[in-house]
Every structure is written in C-alpha cells, then in structure tokens.
Amino acid sequence: MSNIAIRSASAFTVMCLSLGVALVGAPLASATPPSDPAPTTVPVPTSNIDFSKKGSLSLSKRIIKPGKEGETATGNETDVANSTLRGITFELYLVKAINNAKDWEDAVDLGKDGADSVTATNLVKTATTDDNGYIDFGTLPLGLYKLVEVESNNPSVTKADDALIYLPMTNPANQNTWNYDVHVYPKNQYDPQETKIEKKVDDAKKNIGDDVTYTLNSAIPDVTVNDVTWYQITDQLDAEILKTDEATVSVAIPGAVAEAGADYVVFNENGLIKVSFTAAGVDKLTAAKKANADARVTTTIVAEVSKVADGHAPNKALLYHNNPTVNSDVKPNPEDPHNPPKDPENPPKESNEVHSYWANIELNKVDDKDNALKGAEFELYRCSVDGDLEGDALAVDHDNNPETPLQTTLVTGDDGKATFYGLKVTDFENNKSVDPTAYCLVETKAPDGFSLLPEPVPVTLTQAETHGETVSITKVAEVANLSETRGSLPLTGGMGIGFLVALGALIVAVGAYTAQRFGKSA
C-alpha cells in the first residue's frame, strides 16, 4: 500500500472523528493512490481522484440523547433514526483547495491533528437547517473544508464540535472508488429541559366577599425538533369555598397577544378550570419558545371567597402538552378541546401546592355573672396584637350564607352570641407564615344597663389554633360587661332634694354678704 493511500484513509478517519461519531473497524485504505489528472482523451480510473470534477456537500442535523452513541459516518446519505434538528446555523470554510495529488497530501497533513488545530478564514457559505434538519451547500470545488456550528440560544442542545470534511472521500460501500457527493451528519447532545408549572396565591387579608388570585407560571416544551400541538392547564379549585367563572381567567404569552376564544378557551365545571389552547394558540407558543428559550405562559385565575366550609383550600394545578422532542403530535379535537387524547408516554406535570386558611370568631357576650347579654353591637377591625386599630370597620359575613349581604355591625342574640364568619387567619398568607396580626372587637352599643367596653378586644386567628389536629375552626371570644355606673340623686325620702337646694342657696347668700362687707371696708 502506498504512503498516499494510507494518508487517504487517515484523512477519512480524522473527518469521521471530528464529526463526533464512532468508526467501524472495516479497512478504508484500499483505494488506489490519487494521481494527477490524466489527459482528457484517457478516462481516469475510478480508483484515482478525478481532479477535474466538482464535489457537493449536504448536511443532515441530528440529535442524540445523553449517553447514546452516534452512528458511523460514511459520507454517504443514510437512514438515521435520530430526530432532526432545525434552526441550527453552520458556517463552511475552505481550508485547502485540492487540485492534484500534492494538494491532497498537504490537505491530509493539515488535518491530521483535528479541526481545532486548523485555522479557517475563507468563508464559503453560511446556511441554517430547515424543518427537516437539512442543508444543501451545493456544488463545491474539491478541497479540505471546515464545518463550524454557530452558537445558538437553545439551552437544550449542546453545540457540535467543529469538523474537517474532505471532498472527495473514500466510498465505504466500494473502497476502490471515491465519493464526490458527501453527506454528513453532525450530531448534538440533546437534553431538553423538563417543563414545569409553578403556582402562587395572593390571599393576604382576603375574607369572605374578597377575591383570591392564583397565578400559574408554566414552561413551554422544547421545540427544537417539533412544534407544540397541544397545551392545556387544569386547576381544581375548592368549590365549597371559592367561586369563579370563565371570565375571571386570563392568559399571557410572551411576545404575543393571547385572545380568549381565539387562542385559548376556558371551561369551568364545579371549580375545575381547564384552559385549552387552540391551533392558533399553540402556534403562538411555538413562536414564543423559538424566540426565547425561557418563554413561559402566565395564567391568572381570580376566585371569590364565598363560604368558609372547612376553612382550608389546598390547591395545585396540572400542565398537559404533547412531547415535541419525540415527534409526538397529539392534537386537541376542535369539537372537544378540553378532552384531547391522552399521551401515556408524557403524563401531566404537577405544580407545587398552595394553601389558604380561614376561620370564624364567635363573640360570647356575658355580664359579670356569666349571664348572656342580648343587644350588644360590635364592629370588627384589623389591628395589631396590642389592639391598635387599622383602617375602617370590616364588612363581614354573619351567617355563612353567600346570598346574605355583608354587614359592618353585628348584634348579639338571645344567647349573647354573634359570629364573624370567613376571616383570613392572621399568621399565614400567600402560602407562607408571617408575623401574626389580630382582629379587634369594638363595642359600639352596650346592652341597656351596662357600660361600653373601654377599649378594643384583640383576637388572633392563627393557622395552628384553627386548623390543627384537635382544634375548632371557630374561636370563641368571651366578652364581659359591667353594670352601668351611675350617681344616686334621690327625689323623695331621706334628706331630699329640697335640703340640697336650700343648702346651695345658703352658700350663695353667705358669699354675697361677705363680698359686700369687704367692699365697704375698702
């Protein structure tokens, strides 16, 4: 075997390794050494390079999952099972033109240490893979080329190494011939980021009659390989406590306007909220993901606290979507967009769970002998634990009936009781523990014969007090009134009021006489 033939095999080996794939053990150096162009009247043997020819180069971009081996590069076009990779840009540089046998030997020497050792500045073409991961660089002069993948903003894909490509290269199907139409398969490690959905709740100081806001932040699946064809968010609210409807749900897509009815539709069944994206909507999701790898969908659900029930509303959401990384094209049925065919290979993603707690305050009005007092009127305020009032009197639910208007004044009944329903606990809000505050009971009218309370009565409603294992959702606040304090001015009997009047007149007379006497002396 000649030295040039050996170098021919070495060049092919370098090219394959620089593309990041493994070679099989078949010998590749059996082609006859190249020779200078023969006279045009004499055909060039197929075992020699025909330096009068042009070559061509095409590319199929593929991805492999982490830990997987790539398939053998041959230079021929093959049926590669890995998924295509679209939207990846390559630059092709000419390192060394090959016009004769000496040029070939020089090209082999240039490439013997791999692509990183070769500096290339002669840019031939820049191209981007199409939806099938394909690039056709067209007809090219014979030579040694360097293929460089341009960095992308896709965090799911690891950039392929630079590669050296020889035009022509030995044909592995018939090693006594040369392949002038080379097709390469540069591969990327592909590790798509897992899609997640996160949930937040804004329930601070939200009592019955107030609105709680849930915000769902959901990732868009990776669209490196395929588009989003199905995207749905579901959220089961506690229908016994929270009341909502389709109109209170809104969606935001980065870089686009999300229109209800056109891009997504909302369905509410007994508190189960389903937000399903239409064909137009998933196209916007795909575009958003392509523009920004970190693009996320924001879904907002507003619900009114309507009844206290057990006072605890745990909540989590689910995210459903097709899996574009494995050519999954699950699509919603336009006639029934909320119930698309399920993908057993891609179960829904579950959000974190958020919690909200409410409780009641039962006022028990008694006298100093623990007798119930009817007719005492009270208002409820937010306050510090020391009793410093904040803001105005609260409008509260007095009977746990969503149909009854809220009231700012509650009156104790025959049993001396009045209950303030559906109050947010004072030490847990927005799904986290906070420094406790309190509610203050302020008596605005005392029962007949009794004095008003001299100051507000602070009551704490902590999550542990009202939702522990052995406690009640209702906290009892016992408030005692003292009998009214009045002076005694009897109208009959005893000394009588006449005596007091006479005594007063006498004091006035003495005073007048004394003043007159001192005046004459002066």
pLDDT at residue 77 greater than cutoff 80: no
Written as six digits, the tokens of 460 are 């704490």
56 shares its domain with 181? yes
**Are 269 and 373 contained in the same domain?**
no
Q: In the predicted model, is pLDDT for residue 24 greater than 60?
A: no
Is a pLDDT exceeding 50 seen at residue 377? yes
Examine residue 522 and state whether it is found in any structural domain, yes or no.
no
The answer on 204 and 235 residing in a single domain is yes
CATH for 396: 2.60.40.10
Q: Report if residue 245 sits inside a domain.
A: yes
Q: Please, what is the end-to-end C-alpha distance for the chain in angstroms?
A: 155
Asked whether residue 514 is domain-assigned, the answer is no
Query: Is pLDDT above 50 for 21?
Result: no
User: Looking at the domain assignment, is residue 511 inside a domain?
Assistant: no
Note the helical H segments in 360-406. none
Token pair belonging to 219:
């990732």
**Is the CB of residue 166 less than 8 Å from the CB of residue 144?**
yes
226, 162: one domain: no
Q: Are residues 226 and 316 in the same domain?
A: yes
Last-in-domain residue among 350, 376, 411: 350
What's the Cα-to-Cα distance from 462 to each of 16, 86, 346, 429, rounded to whole Å?
68, 55, 41, 11
pLDDT number for residue 382: 97
Is the same domain home to 291 and 391? no
Backbone phi, then psi, for 207, in 5-degree steps?
-100, -175
Q: Are 140 and 167 in contact (CB under 8 A)?
A: yes
In a domain, 502, yes or no: no
Same domain, 237 and 327: yes
pLDDT digits (tens, 9 = 90+) for 277-324: 999 999 999 999 988 888 999 999 999 999 988 899 999 999 999 888
**CA–CA separation, 48 vs 98, rounded Å?**
13
207 in the same domain as 91: no
Residues 57 and 162 in one domain: yes
The pLDDT value recorded for residue 488 is 36
Cβ distance 190 to 157 under 8 Å? Answer: yes
Answer whether residue 209 is part of any domain: yes
CA distance 215 to 299: 6
What is the CATH classification number for the domain harbouring 253? 2.60.40.740
Range of the domain at 226: 197-350
- Looking at the structure, do residues 338 and 444 belong to the same domain, yes or no? no
Average model confidence (pLDDT) for the chain?
Answer: 81
pLDDT digits (tens, 9 = 90+) for 404-445: 999 999 999 999 999 999 999 999 999 999 999 999 999 999
> By C-alpha distance, which of 413, 414, 410 is closest to 423?
410
Integer Cα distance of 257 and 10 in angstroms = 56
d(CA 205, CA 515): 69
Looking at 312, 333, 350, the residue that finishes a domain is 350
Average pLDDT over residues 115-122: 90
The CA distance from 156 to 324, in Å, is: 13
Boundary (domain end) residue, out of 320, 350, 380 = 350
The number of distinct structural domains making up the chain is 3
Based on the number of CB atoms within 10 Å of its own CB, is 392 exposed (0-12), middle (13-18) or buried (19 or more)? exposed
